[in-house]
Structure 1
Amino acid sequence: MRVVRIRGQLVLFHVLTLSQYLSAREDQTAISPQNCSLRCVLQGGPDCEYCRINREEVEINHGVTTFGGCIPLPCSFFMVGQDSVCKHYTHAPRDITIEFLADQNPEYDNIIVSWKPSVYGIGFLRGFQVLLQALGGSHTACQLFLFQSNISLSASHAQRVYQSDPFYNLDLGSRYVVTVMALPAPVPEDSKDFYSRKDFSTQTCPKKNGLDHCKTDWYPKYTDVQQIGPDIIVTFNLAPPLLGIDRYFSKCYGDGLKDYTIKPDVTRNRTHSSYHLEGLKAGSNYTCEIAADQTDAVRKVFNVQVKGHKRETPLPLATWLPVAAALAVLLLILLLAVSSRKMCSHWIKRKEVFEAHPVSSGNDESVSPITRVTPPRLLICYCSDDGPAHVRAVMQLATFLQQYMATQVFLDKWDSLRLAEDGVLGWHCRRIQESDFVLVICSRGLRRALGKSEGGTSTAVIALIGEELGRAKATGRDISKYMAAKFEYSEEEDIPLELGFVSRYTLTRDLPLLFSHIHQVALYSPGAYLQIEHITQEGSAKQPAWAALEWSIHEAGMALSNHQESSGGEQDLCDARVGV
């Protein structure tokens, strides 16, 4: 009798365990929206447990709250006669995930958003609202989902996964933010606890379609350099015919800048082509790059070492070689005696520039990336609306660039006399024309200034840079003169749309990349890499100037954070609604 009782308990235990497992599996299965009408939701029909609500189906009445283009109806609209329920609201959803859908369109991405409800206040949950916004763009999409009016969820339903409808035609390689809001929302809306946000990026074109199907991302992967006598021949792989690329360009930096235009003959070879590097000096090292002749094309970087070559000399001429050598030595001594002062002065100037920015390579070869005696001229533009701490960080950056990155910096704070003579806008116009590079420090204050009808000098300067970039893009000219940067406390959306096509950097993390851009050198090459003293993590610990720059950026971030907290929650909630 006792054995039978034990067996019955074991069977009951297994049945309960299996039921719990099946219940958990059921809760983890994503619940998709149903295609039902608003009337079915209000009447509480059995086929309307979780419904999508089309905007055209909702009649907008007085007092309806809008949120980013969606129309979440007030709680009293669904819970007639149950005012006590409408006094509560559930907390923000959790575990937001983004799933990319497989499709045949190579230009866009499609996604589905999933989430779980919060256990707090789940008994009063009436539905969800999902808002999708493009960071730095105008794309906005919204979906509204409601439960039937007589449903009441329990704490166990917090493990359920709910899905949105698909969001279609999202641009590849773009940043988006999705906001999932629990309904009913608090009235007044003085809390962030009822919504959750998640930033994500869509797939890049190469990741979705493969590199050979992306014109703007394609670059030659294969390069082979051969020297036959004095001739330097470079062979590279051509772009697939479907991309329609028929011209290429190449540049070499070393003993000056060498430009090459390449027009392959595809009738002879459809996969590879070769071209000659002319005008390179024997015994010199060059950093070269090759890319499709397209705007903002990705460039393939490679190194070229030109070796000396010997020419065969006729036998009778060999008897004159000792005499020629002696004459050459005498001539060399004479030239050295005459021009010693000029040469010393010249090399002293070069020594001062190189000592201001020593460079060491990752292998034993001596690589000197700076090939110009005069440093490049850099104009720094910024907005002072973020406060004095932000301005101090900009000035500390300018000091560091000029002292340790061999760069001549133009900053309005350093040129007050000329600024008074020309005026603020006139000074910026002249410095933009005189500078080799223009670096715009992007911040929240700059973004807000551009959003005002009267943005002042910052708006005028950005508009001027935008016009210059527009003309360069229209004529196919290089736009590498202009760069955008942000400190670590700023966001990607702080970068203006006018600078959407220029190179962007986060400081101080990307200082080596900024150095590479300004001095036009490659940080990496086959078997070697450049380590620039003072601006790498290894060398920065020894420099007080680096610590001062890091500390000024930290102070500016703390000051900006304290200012936002003291401004109250209403502005942050407004920002969350409009996606600022």
Structure 2
Amino acid sequence: MWRVAVVLSLFAALARPLWAQDGVTAAAITPQDCSLDCIQQGEPSCEYCRITRSDIKEALGFNTIDAFGSCVPYPCLELIGGKDPNVCQHYVQAPDDVTVEFLHEPNPLSDTVVVSWKPSYYGIAFLRGFQVTLQALGGFSIACQLFLFHRNVSLPASHAQRVYKSDPFLGLSLGSQYAVTVMALPVPEEWEKFYQSKIFSTQSCAEKNGLERCKKDWYPKHVEVQQNGSAVTVTFNLAPPSLGIRSYFSLCYANGITRYTDITPNPKNKTHHSYQLNDLKEGTNYTCEIAANEMDAVRKMFSIHIMHPQRESSSVTPSLAVMLPLCLAIVAIGILSAALIRKRPTLRIKKLAINPDIIKQHEEAGPQQEVLSMPENRLTPPQLLICYSACDGPAHVKAVMQLGAFIQQHMATKVCLDLWDSLSLAEEGSMAWHCRQIRESDFVLVICSQGLSHRPALSDPEQSDEDEEADFGSYSSNAVVRLIGEEVGQAKARGQDLSKYMAAIFQYSEETDIPTELRLVSHYTLMADLPLLFSHLHGVALHRPGGYLKINYISEEGFAKLPAGAALQCAIHEAGMAMRARKQHAVERGELAALTP
């Protein structure tokens, strides 16, 4: 028996290289132009074809939304499986090795990328194509490309080593994060392993164009300090005229005191400018910053030490009894110093060989923003009630819940959310619970979305009990939001302070989703306006001359570095995709209804 096993193993070892080389192509496969007829007829020349919006219009009779390009729901069934739906019913595994490659882009304000991947071994014989989606994280920007094989293709397993590429994605914003998703087609129902996603960042302006061409990233590289007693003259290099920077500022810190200096160079100066720092305290070390007077400008750090002035010698002649021991001590110290210097010349040379770039790196590694202290007059954290509409689906509700968790964990705020207090909600009832929370909370935040204008019909006799319960919950949440709108209108009519109430939208919603009555209060777009929301909750000024609020992770770029922030970012991304899918479905239903006589 063991001889048979040995023979089989040797045969497999000999056959494996032949199998691995069968049909493998080293070069990446790029899309080609084909007609839909060629794909649907199964002609071999249609190996890997791009599908355009005109192809979709020709096949389905309507135009897709610009952002979605040539992508449609169930593209295999719509474009290939018309005559035989069975070709689109097989399971295919998600692609592997998804990579993003940057291409040369002459436009200094954007990047261009190409996505590549390998198909999976599993189900490759039934593979019919790929769909590639690119979306800006936390934004509305989305692009989609569709690629199909001809209907009669049956790829061997060796083709899993082939690399397939997308068409270029153009006009990506610099310094932004994107998520790319590559989907294997077909996609049967109840199949979750059909796509692979990857998050990447585009180049910063400085990485692509150089520091001298980027207004936000530029900072003075050369700073020279000259001291004359307590008066200090600072000279620094000016920004290139092409950046349009006309003013600068300087900050110096010492012993808890900050000195702000506004700097406006003479327009005739093109390279360098000097300014004075007066009334600095003697014997004090100052840490200073200088930067362009622009939002989020990078700051250059430097240090100043103000020495004590040398005191004049006394005119009183000391006695000989005092001078003689002093002179002897000075002579002894001089002899000892000469001996040490003669014995240790190497040490002196080493001290003189210190690299000044190390000191420069240490100085530039300091904090880039002024830290403003929190007010200490509040003994307890503020209480925030979050209200929302449940009509936009579970993904939107999940995003609201993750937002509440992030605010409570990392923004020093106690959050009240009906999702977390089911027992009290059942005991009091939804309206009574919300009315009590509105009275007791310091702030009320309404998350506005498209569902605020939805009025569910509870009287539909064909609805199930579960649908009626869900619709009633949506109706209750919308009634609470309208109650808050009435409170805001009455407070405005009486001339009362409206700072208790706030409105916000996630970036997948529109400004028009904010009801008219809530436009009277402060409204924010999350997560771009996260620092503004923090400032509102804690009464902290975001800006003051020469400085602005900087709290770790409370920013559009920094919140996702925390576990709760990453969960929130993922929930917002999923809710945005769900919202766009619902809108697309609504558009398609509207068009089909218009075509129905």
CA distance in 1: counterparts of 2:100 and 2:155, whole angstroms: 25
User: Equivalent residue of 1:31, what SS?
Assistant: coil
Q: Provide the rounded CA distance (Å) in 1 between the counterparts of 2:115 and 2:160.
A: 17
Query: Is 1:114 equivalent to 2:119 in the alignment?
Result: no
Give distance in 2, aligned partners of 1:122 and 1:460.
56
1:154 aligned to 153, 156, 159, which one? Answer: 156
Give the TM-score taking structure 2 as reference length. Answer: 0.56
Aligned-partner SS, 2:167: coil
Task: Flag the structure with larger Rg.
Answer: 2
In the TM superposition, residue 42 of structure 1 has moved relative to its aligned partner by 1.8
Question: Partner of 2:250: helix, strand, or coil?
Answer: strand
Letter in 1 for 2:251: K
Note closer, same or farther for the CA distance 1:297–1:77 as it changes in structure 2 (3 Å cut).
closer
Kept after mapping to 2: 8 A contact 1:222/1:236 = yes
Contact kept, 8 Å, 2:252 with 2:260, in 1: the verdict is yes
Letter in 1 for 2:283: G
Match of 1:100 in 2: 102
In the other structure, the counterpart of 1:213 is 213
Cα pair distance change 1:23/1:303, threshold 3 Å = farther
Measure how far apart 1:288 and its partner are. 1.6
Instruction: For structure 2, list consecutive stretches of 5 or more residues without a partner in the other structure.
Output: 1-14, 317-361, 364-368, 388-397, 417-435, 445-487, 534-539, 584-597
Please say if residues 140 and 508 of structure 2, whose CA atoms lie closer than 8 Å, have aligned partners that are also in contact.
no
Out of 40, 51, 54, the position equivalent to 1:53 is 51
Structure-to-structure mapping, 1:112-191, within 5 angstroms:
112-187=114-189, 190-191=190-191
Could you tell me whether the CA contact under 8 Å between 1:114 and 1:162 is conserved in 2?
yes
CA–CA distance in 2 between the matches of 1:55 and 1:445? 29
2:38 is matched with which residue: 37, 40, 45? 40
CA deviation string 1:358-400 (max 9, x = no partner)? xxxx99xxxxx999999667887877688999978866767xx
Q: Distance in 2 between matches of 1:397 and 1:139?
A: 28
Shift of 1:101: 0.3
TM-fit CA distance, 1:262: 1.8
1:321-369 Cα distance to aligned partner (Å, 9 max, x none): xxxxxxxxxxxxxxxxxxxxxxxxxxxxxxxxxxxxxxxxx99xxxxx9
Would the aligned equivalents of 1:383 and 1:445 in 2 still touch at CA under 8 Å?
no
Deviation at 1:172, TM superposition (A): 0.1
Question: Are the counterparts in 2 of residues 90 and 124 from structure 1 also a CA contact under 8 Å?
Answer: yes
* 8 A Cα contact 1:285 1:305, kept in partner: yes
CA contact (8 A) 1:90 1:194 kept: yes
- The match for 1:480 is 548
Residue 445 of structure 1, CA deviation: 10
Which residue type is aligned with residue 43 of structure 1?
A: Q
> What is the distance in 2 between the residues matched to 1:197 and 1:31?
20
Matched residue SS, 1:250? strand
Contact in 1 for aligned 2:284/2:305 (Cα 8 Å): yes
Equivalents in 2 of 1:306, 1:204: separation in Å?
39
**Higher mean Cα deviation, 198-207 or 215-224?**
215-224
Distance in 2, Cα, partners of 1:45 & 1:58? 19
Report the CA distance shift for 1:191/1:62 in structure 2 as closer, same or farther (over 3 A): farther
Aligned equivalent of 2:200: 200
Is 2:111–2:202's contact at 8 Å kept on the other side of the alignment?
yes
Q: Is the 8 A contact 2:91 2:191 kept in 1?
A: no
Correspondence list, 1:62-73, <5 A: 70-71=71-72, 72-73=74-75
Identical pairs, percent: 39
Aligned: 1:298 with 2:298: yes
1:109-140 CA distances to partner (integer Å, 9 max, x unpaired)? Answer: 00000011111111111111111111111111
Residues 254 and 371, structure 1, Cα contact 8 Å, conserved in 2: no
What are the equivalent positions in structure 2 for 1:396-407 lying under 5 Å apart?
A: none
RMSD: 5.4
C-alpha change, 1:249 and 1:79, in structure 2 (3 Å) is: same
Q: 1:125 to 1:19 in 2, by over 3 A?
A: closer
Matched, 1:250 2:250: yes
Question: In the superposition, relative to structure 1, how do residues 381 and 238 fare at CA in structure 2: closer, same or farther (>3 Å)?
Answer: farther
Alpha-carbon shift at residue 306 of structure 1 (Å): 1.9
Is 1:64–1:73's contact at 8 Å kept on the other side of the alignment?
no
Does structure 2 conserve the Cα–Cα contact (< 8 Å) formed by 1:96 and 1:115?
Answer: yes
Contact 2:559 2:566 (C-alpha < 8 Å) held by counterparts = no
Partner of 2:443: 424
Contact 2:230 2:280 in 1 (8 A): no
Tell me, yes or no, if the aligned pair for 2:133 and 2:143 is still in contact at 8 Å: yes
Q: Shift in Å at residue 287 of structure 1?
A: 2.2
Q: CA deviation at 1:103?
A: 2.1
2:164 aligned partner, one-letter code: Y
CA spacing shift, 1:150–1:65, aligned 2, 3 Å = farther
The CA distance in 1 between the partners of 2:281 and 2:183, in whole Å, is 66
TM-aligned CA distance change 1:36 to 1:236, over 3 Å: same
Deviation digits for residues 146-204 of structure 1, max 9, x if unmatched?
112222111111111000000000000001111111111113xx332111111111000
Distance 1:456 1:253, change over 3 A: farther
* CA displacement at 1:292 relative to structure 2: 0.7
Tell me the equivalent position of 1:28. 26
- Structure 1: runs of 5 or more not aligned: 1-15, 320-361, 364-368, 399-408, 434-439, 487-498, 509-552, 565-569
SS of residue in 2 equivalent to 1:28? coil
